[in-house]
Amino acid sequence: MAAAVKPLVAGNWKMNGLRRDAVALAGALAERMRREGPPRCAVVVCPPAVMLQTVGEAIAGSGIGLGAQDCHARPSGAHTGDISAPMLADAGCSHVIVGHSERRADHDETDAMVRAKAAAAQGCGLMAIICVGETLAERDAGQALAVVRRQLDGSLPPGATAANTVIAYEPVWAIGTGRTPKSPEIAEVHAAIRAAIAGRVAGAATVPILYGGSVKAENAAEILAIAEVGGALVGGASLNAADFWTICRSCP
């Protein structure tokens, strides 16, 4: 990476599991942290919102951070079903994912909406994990870099700094498909992201740029060794304690 920065591996549990599953998974990870010591990366888990308190209690004192999968841009109000950034901070969260491709696609979230959510999170002291990434059609059309730059331009709030911002590159076509871009393709996009945030984010050289999209125990070491890859945003593999721990231990 352009400057020394501790990698981050975040597990996005998405809409999976019941409370007993969350307790078992979080407990297994916390036990590994205590027994084996921390890996060479920061570790965060992002369970469904209804499990934040349960998971927070299970990982308390372990060194594992608690993250959420989304937040509303407003601090309070008539927004049925939504959860605000102050609520997440009050629940013990340190991180929140914003702009995930599944939110952009399934909930019609625009770059402006993502920017507002990121600003709300940062205003509450949360680390905003801002997601960007192209579809397969966009990559096949040679538009991957342009799409990612456009999303960054629209999604980064004015107050973004290395102390409150993480970027996650997740090519939409690789999420949950078992497919991953080739290493040079990942390196190219991550380098473009680093260049794009220079001048836009204070301390841009030390902002972690995560890769996400079919990250598994089997390919984590190779991906995490790529230039400018500062960690991983892990989906399905984060639901298995052994696999997720292997990914965390793969950080160089």
Catalytic residues: 100, 170
Helices (H), the chain: 19-36, 52-59, 85-90, 101-106, 111-123, 136-140, 144-155, 183-197, 220-224, 241-249
Tokens of 16: 């999976």
Q: Which residues fall within 8 angstroms of residue 56, CB to CB, at 6 or more apart?
A: 66, 91, 92
Residue 120: count other Cβ atoms within 10 Å of its Cβ.
23
Alpha-carbon distance values, 124 to 84, 95, 119, 164 (Å): 10, 10, 9, 10
Of 91, 96, 97, the residue nearest 59 (C-alpha) = 91
Rg of the Cα atoms in the chain: 17
Q: Tokens 């969350």 identify what position?
A: 22
